[in-house]
Amino acid sequence: MNRQKHIWFVLFVVLFAFTSQAQVTFQTKVSRKKLGLNERVRVDFIMNADGDDFNPPSFEGFRVVGGPNQSISNSYINRKRTYSKTYSYFLSPLKQGTLRIGKASIYVSGKTYTTSSITLEITPAVKTPSDGLGNNPEVIAEQNVHLVAEISNPTPYLNQHLTITYKLYVSNNVSITSQWREINSPRYADFWSKNIDSQKLNLFEGKYQGEDYRYVVLKTTVLYPQKTGPLEIEPLTLDVPIDVPGKRRNIFGRSLTTRVNKTISAGKRTITVKPLPTKDRPDNFTGAVGDFTFSVTPNKKVLEVDQALEVSLTVSGKGNLNTLSLPSLKVPSTLEVYEPQRKENIRTRASGISGSISEVYTIVPQNKGTYPISPISFSFFNPDTQSYQSVSSEQIVIRVTAGSAPKQDPTIAQTQTQQIQPLVIEERFRYIKLNADLSPIASPPFFKSTLFWALLLGPLGLIPLFILLGKKYRSMRADVQGLKLRKANKMARKYLVEARKNKHNKAIFYEALERSLHNYLKARLDIQTTQISKERIAKLLLERKVAATTVLDFETLLKSCELARYTPTSDVAIKQDYKKAVSTISLIDKQIQ
């Protein structure tokens, strides 16, 4: 009996210990419960189990100045495991009085756990504020480094120039190196864009929110909106290593620094594009926006028959010359005109695009005479004056002379003269046969003819061919690996057909290649454009059993597209990137599950 009680006691102790160890705790801790209006408080949400779907409170009445920061502690002491996971926030109160931090929730092992709410007392601003955070490097780094996207004109007209400049501001309290890494690049889906990359990053002195800062210009992009209404620009996001000095010093008296890696973003920006006015719009307006001059210039006005002249239509000035359409040259129908050749002299700077474009027509007259070329008008919208302007050329008169006739052999001239002597009336129609000798055409019988036997026996002869084709088709269907390979290659070429058509143009090729890769991912992984990032792509592909080397090749392709659009490259590199894109998509299609 005593032995049975002992066994039950041991089981009870073991069960109690297991239950105590398995109990989940989830609580809120604050660095202080009373603080001034100009002070800050740290809030920690601590759990002893690894949970999912963490939902913080709304922090009503506070401004979040840091976080969430996540930390995990996992240790073994005397063979006993101790686990702790913490989400930390740094808050600044927005008003005096009594403020409450609400409940947070976490999902652990099929059950939802919540914390208790905590009440804080907010007093008027104190004379000597204390951060109450122990000089937390995370908060200091977040408060002293800022990424800003400056837009020259947030409300442009359609196809009017604007510039977006990305500046990294750093206060004198911290320091950074040039080892920052670009996580997400901004995308300009509804803009014509051109990056102006700086060859060297120069350090400038400036102001940020009224305080002295240092800053560098990371990137400048010239934009021309191609659509009206509110247009969003995806943010530039960087991972920046920041050195935060602490209170401790080394033996030489210098402050010891703590390196903090922070992810900072310029934030999503919205451009509101105004439509061009319809009032006083010329009939020949084709969408040119800027400030331009227009001229029509022939290289000669007097020429001989069968000689050629060139007429140049030139638009010069400031505006998006890359998308500009020139008016057509209209000449008399007796002049032979060839397709024009386009010539460009375009410069892109932060102030916009300027230069000139020309279309040169080659004209060859067939007969002598005087030929007027009517005036040509070119219209554009000038955003500076907010009005339409038209420029017309003057009438051009081309004079064509007969030229010197070539000398001819007199013997040949006499022979030609004799040949064209008129025939006598009775001899003109001798070639007509008046007495026709006609005979009926007998058609052979169809029965037992060659056509008869061909139609009868032809289908029988095709039966072996159909049997062979059926066997070939079944063998191809049975070859699962080969079938996957053929489908993969077909899918790859389907998405890369646009890039293949533009191999001669580097910028268009890489833009089309990048768009093809993104479209393939959207179709294959069933994700949206806003969800596309290198990290998410790699994660999804690895989860779908795609080999790590193939995923790395795909990421390298995306990176090549981003870099090659704005850096010099060769035709050989373009061909290699295209072949690599075809093979990589084929491999992904074969491996993905």
Helix, strand, coil abundance in the chain, percent, nearest 5: 30, 40, 35
Question: Per the structure block, which two tokens stand in for 585?
Answer: 């998509």
Q: What is the mean pLDDT of residues 296-320?
A: 90
CATH architecture of 2-132: Sandwich (2.60)
Question: Per the structure block, which two tokens stand in for 291?
Answer: 């400030």
From the CB of residue 61, how many other CB atoms can be counted at a distance below 10 Å? 16
Question: pLDDT of 13-59, one tens digit each?
Answer: 444 444 444 588 888 998 888 888 878 888 989 888 887 788 899 88
Question: pLDDT of 407-431, one tens digit each?
Answer: 444 444 444 444 444 444 444 445 4
* Percent of the chain clearing pLDDT 90 (strictly above): 19
- For the chain, the domains span 2-132, 140-273, 290-401, 480-591
Q: CATH code for 290-401?
A: 2.60.40
Question: Per the structure block, which two tokens stand in for 99?
Answer: 């403020």
Q: Is the pLDDT of residue 264 over 90?
A: no
Question: Per the structure block, which two tokens stand in for 495?
Answer: 């998405």
Contact 180, 147 (CB under 8 A): no
The answer to whether 2-132 and 290-401 have equal CATH topology is yes
Q: How confident is the model at residue 5 (pLDDT cuts 50, 70, 90)?
A: low
Q: What is the pLDDT of residue 477?
A: 63
Distances (CA, A) of 152 to 26, 112, 391: 49, 49, 29
Q: Is the pLDDT of residue 252 over 60?
A: no
Give dist(CA 555, CA 114) in Å, integer: 40
DSSP 3-state assignment of 391?
strand
Task: List CB contacts of 213: < 8 A, sequence separation 6 or more.
Answer: 146, 169, 170, 171, 172, 205, 206, 207
Q: How confident is the model at residue 110 (pLDDT cuts 50, 70, 90)?
A: confident
Q: Is the pLDDT of residue 163 over 90?
A: yes
Q: What is the mean pLDDT of residues 206-230?
A: 90
Residue appearing with tokens 């007093």: 123
Give dist(CA 496, CA 488) in Å, integer: 12
pLDDT winner (highest mean) among 21-35, 147-161, 391-405, 444-458:
147-161
Helix axes 450-478, 480-501, angle to 10 degrees: 100
Phi then psi dihedrals of residue 543, to 5 deg: -65, -30
Question: pLDDT of 343-385, one tens digit each?
Answer: 999 998 888 999 999 999 998 888 888 989 889 999 999 999 9
Phi then psi dihedrals of residue 564, to 5 deg: -70, -25
Q: What is the mean pLDDT of residues 156-183?
A: 88
Give dist(CA 114, CA 404) in Å, integer: 104
Contact 494, 516 (CB under 8 A): no
Cis ω on the peptide bond leading into residue 68 (within 30° of 0)?
A: yes
From the CB of residue 240, how many other CB atoms can be counted at a distance below 10 Å? 19
Q: What is the pLDDT of residue 464?
A: 82
pLDDT winner (highest mean) among 59-73, 132-146, 480-494:
59-73
Q: What is the mean pLDDT of residues 125-129?
A: 71
